[in-house]
Amino acid sequence: MTQPILQTTIVGSLPKPVWLAEAEKLWAPWKLEGETLAEGKRDAVRLVLRDQENAGIDIVSDGEQTRRHFVTTFIEHLQGVDFGQIRRVRIRDRYDADVPVVVGPIARQQPVYVEDARFLRAETTRPVKFTLPGPLTMVDTLYDDHYHSREKLAWEFARILNEEARELAAAGVDVIQFDEPAFNVFFDEVRTWGIQTLERAAEGLPCKTAVHICYGYGIKANNDWKQTLGAEWRQYEETFPLLQASAIDQVSLECHNSHVPIELIGLLEGKDVLVGAIDVATDRVETPEEVAATIRSALNYVAPEKLYPCTNCGMVPLTREVARRKLRALTAGVALVRKELGAS
Ligand code: ZN
């Protein structure tokens, strides 16, 4: 079967069932323990797979049902990080969070998500995407009391992420996406070592590689910050040429209700572009026509076989019902455009 053009996918997270973790909350604690928690996570993955499949999403994910947070859950599994010590740091120059402390050399003694990836692979016949945090964003989400250098620590994380990513790919994952929201804040670091450490994390992978850069979930600190960015968000003008020249295959960004001038995606020539057509910062569900309009405007700059309609960001802050309806809006909007292109 040939793959359709405008293949749909999601950035990563989906809301968790209320019996697993409190809804509409980042870093929500688990409600189950031990083997019951492990089984609960697997059941939650099955449910989000069915939701994505029922909505007609082409490239599916585990909705990050097995992790409390997209960065700290990965870090929790590494040696050299002390979760007994918590320090308050300012994340992305924007909001304070209590984070663990790096106390010694970082090492990955065993796989973190590889079992989860095998389970995901076994539970669906569709292509699967798996997300990992990117090195710069990891460095920005903890307190370093050992390396005393963000760059040095980022290279260590890149090496560890690459070990993990190679095993995820071997488990049958089709796309590995690194989440780098910090790319929109620390431009000097992106230029001097952020892209290089990202490429190191993705080095030698047999699957597609992606990076998600964004202006953050719809939480208050992010929404307040967005108010300060002016009418046009041109930050990507600096980042896109660097990503275009990088070895990463795909770039994911928010486009719907965003102030990013859509023509900037023209700077990503040759890359697959994951066009965010669903706003995750509002409960209002997009109409199919709104989704179609976003895709059409992106098609002026990206060929249909390189354009992947997607969500703006993770959907974890939404309710499950709203998330399901938004997934359906995404595929309904894409169906309109496929039809126009004679590809339905
Ligand atoms: Zn995002």
Strand boundaries in 25-126, DSSP class E: 79-91, 95-107
Residue 229 near residue 259, CB atoms below 8 Å? yes
Q: Flag whether 29 is in a domain.
A: no
Q: How far apart are CA 51 and CA 47, in angstroms?
A: 6
Q: Would you say residue 144 lies in a domain?
A: no
**How many angstroms is it from 217 CA to the middle of ligand 1?**
6
- Report d(CA 271, CA 247) in Å as an integer: 10
CA 43 → CA 36, 116, 123, 314, distances in Å?
10, 12, 11, 20
Residue 73 within any structural domain of the chain:
no
In a domain, 82, yes or no: no
Ligand 1 centroid distance, CA of 312 (Å): 7
84 inside domain? no
Residue at token pair 């076989």: 305
> Residue 228, exposed/middle/buried by CB under 10 A (0-12, 13-18, 19+)?
exposed
Please state the domain count of the chain: 1
- Each residue's pLDDT tens digit in the chain (344 positions)? 456 799 999 999 999 999 999 887 778 899 999 999 999 999 999 999 999 999 999 999 999 999 998 898 999 899 999 988 888 888 777 778 888 899 999 999 999 999 999 999 999 999 999 999 999 999 998 999 999 999 999 999 999 999 999 999 999 999 999 999 999 889 999 999 999 999 999 999 999 999 999 876 666 777 777 777 777 777 788 899 999 999 999 999 999 988 888 999 999 999 999 999 999 999 999 999 999 999 999 999 999 999 999 999 999 989 999 999 999 999 999 999 999 999 86
pLDDT of 6 reads 97
Inter-residue contact 157 to 105 (CB < 8 Å):
no
Distance 311 CA to ligand 1 centre (A): 9
How close is the Cα of 36 to the center of ligand 1, in Å?
30
Q: Tell whether 43 is covered by a domain.
A: yes
CA of 301 to the centre of ligand 1 (A): 22
Cα of 326 from ligand 1 centre, angstroms? 16
Give 287 Cα–ligand 1 centroid separation in angstroms: 21
- Eight-class DSSP state of 111: -
Give dist(CA 16, CA 73) in Å, integer: 15
β-pair type (143-144, 129-133): unpaired
In a domain, 5, yes or no: no
In terms of residue numbers, what domain contains 295? 34-67+110-132+150-178+194-340
Quote the CA–CA distance of 36 and 139 in Å, as a whole number: 32
Pairwise CA distance, residues 265 & 278, whole Å: 17
Q: Which two tokens stand for residue 104?
A: 């010694």
Q: Give the Å distance between the CA of 143 and the centre of ligand 1.
A: 22
Kindly report the CATH number assigned to the domain that includes residue 310. 3.20.20.210
d(CA 21, CA 89): 25
Beta-strand pair 208-212/175-179: parallel
Kind and range of the H or E run holding 179: strand 175-179
Residue 101 forms beta bridges with which residues?
A: 82, 143
- Judged on CB neighbours under 10 Å (0-12, 13-18, 19+), 5 is middle
Residue 10 falls inside a structural domain: no
- Whole-angstrom distance, CA of residue 51 vs CA of residue 150: 39
How many angstroms does the Cα of residue 13 sit away from the middle of ligand 1?
A: 10
- Ion ligand 1 neighbours (CB, 5 A) are 214, 313
Rounded to the nearest angstrom, the distance between the alpha carbon of 313 and the centre of ligand 1 is 4
What pLDDT sits at residue 216?
67
> In angstroms, rounded to a whole number, what is the distance separating the alpha carbons of residues 211 and 245?
13
Whether this model's pTM surpasses 0.85: yes
What pairing do the DSSP bridges indicate for beta strands 307-310 and 208-212?
unpaired
Q: How far is the CA of 61 from the centre of ligand 1 (A)?
A: 15
Local structure of 160: helix, strand or coil: helix
Cα-to-centroid distance, 194 and ligand 1 (Å):
17
Rounded distance, CA 154 to CA 280, Å?
29
